[in-house]
Amino acid sequence: MNLRSTLIRTSVAAACAALATVALAQDKAPAAGDAKARMAAEAAFSKADANGDGKLSKDEAAKMPAIASKFEMLDKDKDGALTLAEFAAGYTAAG
């Protein structure tokens, strides 16, 4: 092996190690507050989803003024309904 191939292999190994470190750092477990917020959003969504179809129409969202006021902004795919993910992006326990 010559010096050039050794340097290349060392650089590749260092890059892989750096990427692995970044990936592990992103896999941290969510904080307890995050889990509680997610559960609160899921509960509010289920309660508002009157027909149980797994999405909120404008009529269903109207029961929650904080969500209704930003319905169009939250409806990212512009299908006229909010999925749980779209709803959760705008939900706060007070809203």
How confident is the model over 16-30, as pLDDT tens digits? 555 555 444 444 444
Between 3 and 37, residue with greater pLDDT: 37
Amino acid 77: pLDDT: 96
Q: Would you tell me how many other CB atoms lie within 10 Å of the CB of residue 13?
A: 10
Q: Distance between CA 95 and CA 84 in Å, rounded?
A: 15
pLDDT in tens, 47-79: 999 999 999 999 999 999 999 999 999 999 999
Distances (CA, A) of 15 to 1, 3, 18, 54: 20, 18, 5, 43
Of the pLDDT bands very low, low, confident and very high (cuts 50, 70, 90), residue 9 is confident
95 pLDDT above the threshold of 70: no
Q: What is the pTM of this model?
A: 0.63
Show Cβ contacts of residue 93 under 8 Å, excluding neighbours closer than 6 positions: 37, 40
Query: How many Å apart are CA 76 and CA 94, to the nearest integer?
Result: 22
Instruction: Give how far Cα 63 sits from Cα of 5, 17, 22, 47, 73, Å.
Output: 66, 50, 42, 10, 17
